[in-house]
Structure 1
Amino acid sequence: MDDAAAFDFIIVGAGSAGCVLANRLTANGRHKVLLVEAGGEDRNPWIHIPLGYGKLFRNPRLNWCYDGVPEEALNGRTVYHPRGKVLGGSSSVNGLLYVRGQKQDFDAWAQTGLTDWGFDGVLPYFKRSEANENGGDEWRGGDGPQPVSNATAPHPLCDAYIDACRAYGLPDNPDFNGATQEGTGYYQSTHRDGLRWSAAKSYLKPARGRANLTVLTHALTTRILFEGKRAVGIEYERHGQRQTARATREVLLSAGSINSPQLLELSGIGNPDILSRHGITTLHALPQLGENLQDHLQVRTVHESGSANTLNDQYNNLFRRIGLGLDFLFRRRGPLTVSAGYAGSFFKTRPDLLTPDIQSLFIIFSTDRMGDRLHGFSGFTASFYQLRPESTGHVHIRSADPHEPPDIWCNYLSTETDRRTNIDGLRLLRSIMDNPAMTRHRKREIEPGPDVQSDDELLVYIRATASTVYHPSSTCRMGVDDGAVVDERLRVKSIKGLRVIDCSIMPTMVSGNLNAAALMIGEKGADMVLEDNPG
């Protein structure tokens, strides 16, 4: 592409929201759009195999492979933060679960003054995005670009887990995104016919034939260009060459909760003390940029199965492993089509809560940590995370070099509420796993193990083993208050021609996985851009 080529809109980042923007902003044919992605094309075959996310977890060609700074509450451990670096972004490397969050999450946003972001204001965009296998209804969309499908087949261990949840008192819930979230059942995920459908496949691929869309891969955006306090383009690096592109209308950041604040700071927007520390002149002071980082902390329990019907058993046997491949190749069924949560539940740790504060995931394999080899024994995993943590951290640059990864500090377990909820959540999950419906399939609990019983012992276990479930949010917080980074129309405060449209704008994180909300934010953000740029 010619240096200083001009476009109406430049989108930075081809993740979930970026792919939505690229599709919607080019649909009318009137706008010339550039989509810039630091990673490459989504051709790796493991991207398209749902269970293949384990193969993508630490692949630097497809993943930013970020390491956080030491977390004091986790015994000084650093936490690994994978982020997609490929067309589709994290929707190409994630665990595929489709969970929107609770109605109350969005209504709480509206109560802070963001009146257009209440549930009634976001539900139409969730529905517009979705092509649900079961069709559309009051809650779900049936003819959108993004496939959302049921689990390809039930599994005896998942059925046993659901039975144990019922015995605990949880109701059956056939749709965690329907009228209520509480209950137990199988998860839906972003697949179709046994294959992953990332945002690159659902939104970007249909738009790539349009003459008014240019897609640049392997192009690292190094800074935003300004004339005064108006964004007018970007500088990017591609194949070792620095080039620029001009935006006659707007620059749209969809680089995610890690990279969007990083790029803004590299461009002179943020806390002046942080910018000056790295020799960057402040263009505009936004002291809260990069602050308010929220993430879901996952606590796992690992069990040895007595049924020899786990993925560990199949994968660790050469002939059964070949069978797995053939089942997927010819039938698009079997464990290779499974998302990161096969079955699950949403429940409350206290009876006075109005909505669940815990999400649980059940999977039919076990490993020491995600991306590692499966255990040699027959194993399965039940995990959980607190849906609405109070703890907040930050993302900030550590140098003026755009190739240098930022500091990522989640500040997990920094409040008594978070510590109490995690202890109680672990107790409740263990009680579910100790139900006869589950124990008839289980030889023993391996982690935490029978010796870990008291509150202090449970917290010690959590501190030693818990890790992220990869849901960073809120680092470019939306709000009507002076401390917010973007306003209710996603415009960077006091800057013209610049918006952030990704999960970093969440005022508070949603009660569930983030990909569905990222698609919604892209849809709603695209409407705002088009409304504010008529013609």
Structure 2
Amino acid sequence: MQEYDYIVVGGGSAGGIIAARLAEDPHVSVALLEEGPRDWYPWIHIPGMLYKTATGGLLRRLEYSQSEESRSAASTTVQGQVLGGGSSVNGMVHVRGVPEDYDGWEAQGATDWGFQKVLPFFIRAEGNDTYRNVMHGTHGPLKVSSPRTVHPLTRAWVQACQENGMPFNPDFNSGQQLGCGFYQTTTFRGRRSSVAQAYVHPAITHHGLTVLTACRVEKILFEGRRATQVSVVQDGKPQKLRARREIIISAGALNSPRLLMVSGIGPADHLRQAGIDIVADAPNVGQNLQDHMDVYLIYRLGSTRSYDRYKSAHMKAVAGAEYALFQNGPAASNIIEGGAFWWARKDDSRPTIQYCFLPGTGVESGVTPLEDADGCTLNICLTQPDSRGSLQLNPSNPHGQAVITPNFLSHEQDMARMIEGIRVGMEVMSQPSISQHLARLHQPEKAFTNDSEIASYVSRYAQGALHPVGTCRMGSDSEAVVDPFLRVVGVEGLRVADASVMPNLPSGNTNAACVMIGERAADFIKNPSQRIDS
């Protein structure tokens, strides 16, 4: 049996960082287990190939279970299944959220996870090419860059936001999120800066990190109440790996709770129904599921050209040549160049709608394609939904896909905020700076005349934003799944460190928060004598 001091399950944004940081100690051995392949596919590393990573074979598709409470027709979701996880396939938008997000975690029992306590770990990870101040780091492994290429349509849209009353915001990660501007991205000199590239590969080369890809973890094995082994199947061969010190699960908000439950940690009655031997009764494993909701508007352009012009073979060759020679041009853009944060309700304590403008079409799933013209896309995202879902094992096949019930838009305020988000988004698109470039709406086919029409559109087209969190909530109370050190309550030698431990969603894309969790989890493990309340 192969033995390691630490075994990290899941090579995504949190797990890759934990494994790499632990491997910095020459006196310990670390294994990182990833179900997907290595990140050798060339399109991963070219930002403009987002349309392939967002829809291609590096994603695992999961079915949703619909509930009577849900008002969304969304039926599936996807997870990155490749070394680097979501950081290897996502839109590269680098958004932390706002201080109130993390102060809210602390208020819910996540002791010492307030913003001032997590900020040093955001900074530790960040290698920013633009900002150097108390909110940003410049020497971290994860490279964060201002846009290398900005399409004229994106600039026009940001100006339209200002015409509609939004202030210009030069830095969405300054602690003040309100307004419009240009997103910073996890890119460096025109290439994606994934966790695999920034952390894992250097740790393999310089620190002897062991990485096992195509390695599916079946369950965690216990000796008494201590986690000691991991049962895996690699290249079709079952085997067991032993952890001398700890096992860290970083398999994501849809897989970490499933793995806990098949290993015997979860709601006791539910585990009995599924035929699982109980190690620890943990009623809230799989509960508190949250995801941002987003919906899109597609516009047909007039004579203005968008990135859609590069869909032809000839223009792809032109873009490829510019990228090869100068690491610039459309291939260096993540397509999601401009954005904004705004209130859905004026009495909201923080912005609750996020806008992403794309000077092109085809990245979003479910869009009726534009075959004969160029277009642009406006994505409207609800950042603080009140709806909550859950995840359970399938009793008839507990080791298969879990039963995921997101309950999207089940809370009436979520629909009300989405309606307002679309209304404001269409107001922006009617402003002179951007409207002069538009021919007409493409999806929907015509403007809405009332809130009922908007609600019907949202119900049909809104989907999860691929930011699931919350299913292994951390806290100091008896109902928490993990404590503030991320140790699984009721057992020993086991932690969970990924988006599943977040009590609530951050206000915006979740990758930056997962990176922070990875950095902090590694710090907890490497410095076990620290006190959480000091």
Instruction: Determine the structure 1 residue equivalent to 2:308.
Output: 312
Residue type of the alignment partner of 1:354: S
- Structure 1 residue 51 corresponds to structure 2 residue 48: yes
8 A contact 1:59–1:65 mirrored in 2:
no
Deviations 1:442-461 (A, max 9, x none): 11122234352211111001
8 A contact 2:72–2:461 mirrored in 1:
no
Instruction: Determine the structure 1 residue equivalent to 2:280.
Output: 284
Q: Alignment RMSD, CA only?
A: 1.9
How has the CA–CA distance of structure 1 residues 371 and 77 changed in structure 2, closer, same or farther, with 3 Å as cutoff? closer
Residue type of the alignment partner of 2:331: L
Instruction: Determine the structure 2 residue equivalent to 1:40.
Output: 37
Which of 323, 329, 332 is residue 334 of structure 1 equivalent to? 329
Moved more, 50-59 or 110-119: 50-59
CA distance in 1, matches of 2:183, 2:212: 35
How has the CA–CA distance of structure 1 residues 217 and 318 changed in structure 2, closer, same or farther, with 3 Å as cutoff? closer
Which of 243, 249, 259 is residue 247 of structure 1 equivalent to? 243
CA distance in 2, matches of 1:478, 1:199: 23
Taking the TM superposition and a 5 Å limit, the aligned residue runs for 1:163-312 are 163-210=159-206, 212-312=208-308
8 A contact 1:170–1:184 mirrored in 2:
yes
CA distance in 2, matches of 1:76, 1:350: 21
Deviations 1:263-300 (A, max 9, x none): 11110111123222221122111111011110011111
SS of corresponding position for 2:298: strand
How has the CA–CA distance of structure 1 residues 504 and 323 changed in structure 2, closer, same or farther, with 3 Å as cutoff? same
- Structure 1 residue 14 corresponds to structure 2 residue 24: no
Taking the TM superposition and a 5 Å limit, the aligned residue runs for 1:504-519 are 504-519=500-515
Instruction: Determine the structure 1 residue equivalent to 2:129.
Output: 133
TM-score by length of 2: 0.95
Task: State the Cα distance separating 1:36 from its structure 2 match.
Answer: 0.9
How has the CA–CA distance of structure 1 residues 200 and 337 changed in structure 2, closer, same or farther, with 3 Å as cutoff? same
8 A contact 1:54–1:370 mirrored in 2:
no
Deviations 1:489-524 (A, max 9, x none): 101111111000111100101001011001100001
SS of corresponding position for 2:526: helix
CA distance in 2, matches of 1:159, 1:73: 40
Instruction: Determine the structure 2 residue equivalent to 1:353.
Output: 348
- Structure 1 residue 365 corresponds to structure 2 residue 363: no
Task: State the Cα distance separating 1:58 from its structure 2 match.
Answer: 4.2
8 A contact 1:312–1:374 mirrored in 2:
no
Deviations 1:150-195 (A, max 9, x none): 1112221111111111011111111100141111111111111111
Residue type of the alignment partner of 1:447: Q
Instruction: Determine the structure 2 residue equivalent to 1:98.
Output: 94
Residue type of the alignment partner of 1:56: T
SS of corresponding position for 1:208: helix
8 A contact 2:74–2:462 mirrored in 1:
no
8 A contact 2:469–2:502 mirrored in 1:
yes
Task: State the Cα distance separating 1:71 from its structure 2 match.
Answer: 5.7
How has the CA–CA distance of structure 1 residues 341 and 109 changed in structure 2, closer, same or farther, with 3 Å as cutoff? same
How has the CA–CA distance of structure 1 residues 148 and 43 changed in structure 2, closer, same or farther, with 3 Å as cutoff? same
Which of 511, 521, 526 is residue 525 of structure 1 equivalent to? 521
Which of 296, 318, 322 is residue 317 of structure 2 equivalent to? 322
CA distance in 2, matches of 1:52, 1:74: 33
CA distance in 1, matches of 2:424, 2:72: 27
CA distance in 2, matches of 1:192, 1:175: 18
How has the CA–CA distance of structure 1 residues 372 and 457 changed in structure 2, closer, same or farther, with 3 Å as cutoff? closer
CA distance in 1, matches of 2:414, 2:442: 25
How has the CA–CA distance of structure 1 residues 273 and 240 changed in structure 2, closer, same or farther, with 3 Å as cutoff? same
Task: State the Cα distance separating 1:335 from its structure 2 match.
Answer: 2.1
CA distance in 1, matches of 2:363, 2:131: 39
8 A contact 2:72–2:459 mirrored in 1:
no
8 A contact 1:8–1:247 mirrored in 2:
yes
CA distance in 2, matches of 1:483, 1:161: 45
SS of corresponding position for 2:527: helix
CA distance in 1, matches of 2:284, 2:175: 35
TM-score by length of 1: 0.95
CA distance in 1, matches of 2:288, 2:150: 39
Instruction: Determine the structure 2 residue equivalent to 1:421.
Output: 417
Moved more, 332-341 or 167-176: 332-341
Task: State the Cα distance separating 1:82 from its structure 2 match.
Answer: 1.7
How has the CA–CA distance of structure 1 residues 46 and 456 changed in structure 2, closer, same or farther, with 3 Å as cutoff? same
SS of corresponding position for 1:65: strand
Instruction: Determine the structure 1 residue equivalent to 2:78.
Output: 82
How has the CA–CA distance of structure 1 residues 17 and 207 changed in structure 2, closer, same or farther, with 3 Å as cutoff? same
Deviations 1:63-121 (A, max 9, x none): 22222223656667343322111110111111111000111000111222323100000
8 A contact 1:54–1:371 mirrored in 2:
no
Task: State the Cα distance separating 1:29 from its structure 2 match.
Answer: 1.1
Taking the TM superposition and a 5 Å limit, the aligned residue runs for 1:444-483 are 444-483=440-479
Instruction: Determine the structure 2 residue equivalent to 1:375.
Output: 370
Instruction: Determine the structure 2 residue equivalent to 1:498.
Output: 494
Residue type of the alignment partner of 2:313: L
Moved more, 394-403 or 377-386: 394-403
